[in-house]
Amino acid sequence: MLGACHRQADPPGDAPGGVAVAPGDGVAVVSWNQLPDLTYWIFFQAGSSVVPAVPGVPLIRTAQSPRVVANVINGIQYAFVMNATHQDSPAGPASPVVLATPRLAGATATWVSGTPLGGVPLPNLNAVAFAFGGTRLVAVGDAGTLFAGDYNYTSANPPGVTAWTLPTLVPAGFTNLSAVMFTGAVFVALARDGSVSTSSDGLSWTSTPAIPSGAAVMSGLALGFFGAPVFVAVGSGGNIFTSTDSGTTWTQAVSNTPNNLNGVSFVGGIFIVTGAGGTLLTSPDGITWTPQTSNTLNALRGAAFGLVAGQGLYVAVGDAGTIVTSSDALAWGPVASPLSQNLRGVVFGSRFLAVGQGGAAAYSDDGVTWSPASAGSADLNAVIFTPAMYVAVGAFGANAVSR
């Protein structure tokens, strides 16, 4: 009796075609002309050459184009090569080696603007948040505008997001939204009238107890952790409200200033509030607030904290390109700014990055020396850092990413 025999498939006759590598911020994106029925392999290593299937050479199995290669180091050149198999065949010919050097995002050439979000008229977007550990982004703005999207680094249109989607359920009267954040479990959005709503997915929103803000216009929201979570919301007339029970009850704090407050951040283990006339307040717990001398009379609109050469640095930005810094959040001083436009948001991702009026942006690797950049032409109101990518939103539905 004759036994059946199995014939191994023939390997591909050609190397993968159209192989290209686009450098990103701590990543590289490999793309090629993908053919059906073939299984693709990516081999890469630091340097100017790489050979497939050499022991110790990192590889990515069964890759799909485009493929993000993470955990590569900015400023170091990498070599990439590909081959493919057909079913269970041996590998076919290798592609030519392609070289790429990952680099920091933030510079002009790294920015891509998306189609404005919203209908007619286009709404202003005032804030954006990302669910770290997940994929969901949420952007909020005027006229009750809410959009949710899933992080997608390689998406070209819209850039950085698979699609922006309108919510499925929003409480009646929840409008003119000024802030949004992610707690680690839910998104929390704040309206200018003190209304608060939460969502686990950015699509279905539920009202929670409002902040008793009276005539104050609420502008900022942050969450800090001191053994237990503490919410802080700020607004006009120096108003600061705190909640230590997840937003069930809100208590007015003594801010020690009558000035309008533009934003609040929990950075470097403390709360920092920025406001009109150079107002800068700090708090170690969200309850007790201390005015700091910012050494500027220009309105400040956002703050960030980052580690620079192993040392912590606080940065606040504001109108007329103002940038002030501090190593301890107590003694603040201005640094030279490359911009005269108003700056409305700042974040520390892989570097400090600020955005503002007319698409102006500025970035710095040490918080002291800043370089100008262009993030489009629309006014940008807020910026966050997601894996390997900055996301900014602004006036008339503006959205842009730097990667």
Distance CA 159, CA 157 (A): 5
CATH of residue 47's domain is 2.60.40.10
pLDDT at 2 over 50: no
State the average pLDDT over residues 142-159: 97
Domain boundary among 100, 121, 139: 100
Number of domains observed in the structure of the chain: 2
Beta carbons within 10 angstroms of residue 4's beta carbon: 4
If you ran DSSP here, which 8-state letter would residue 170 be given? -
User: Could you read off the pLDDT of 13-72 as tens digits, one per residue?
Assistant: 999 999 999 999 999 999 999 999 999 999 999 999 999 999 999 999 999 999 999 999
**What type of residue is 367?**
G
Distance CA 43, CA 159 (A): 27
What tokens does 15 get? 């190397």
Are 96 and 118 found together in one domain?
no
Domain boundary among 100, 135, 170: 100
Are 117 and 149 found together in one domain?
yes
**Domain-embedded: residue 10:** no
Are 145 and 85 found together in one domain?
no
Are 263 and 219 contacting, i.e. CB atoms less than 8 angstroms apart? yes
Q: Tell me the average pLDDT of the chain.
A: 96
Three-class SS of 182-215: ECCCCEEEEECCCCEEEECCCCECEEECCCCCCC
290-291/280-283 β-pairing? antiparallel
**Domain-embedded: residue 7:** no
- Residue 6's pLDDT band, with cuts at 50, 70 and 90, is low
Are 196 and 248 found together in one domain?
yes
What pTM was estimated for this model as a whole? 0.95
Q: Which domain holds residue 21?
A: 17-100
Distance CA 303, CA 329 (A): 11
Helices then strands, counting H and E runs in the chain, come out as 0, 35
CATH of residue 339's domain is 2.130.10.10
**Domain-embedded: residue 3:** no
DSSP 5-54: --PPPPPPSSPPEEEEEEE-SSEEEEEEE--TTEEEEEEEEESS---TT-
User: Could you read off the pLDDT of 284-313 as tens digits, one per residue?
Assistant: 999 999 999 999 999 999 999 999 999 999
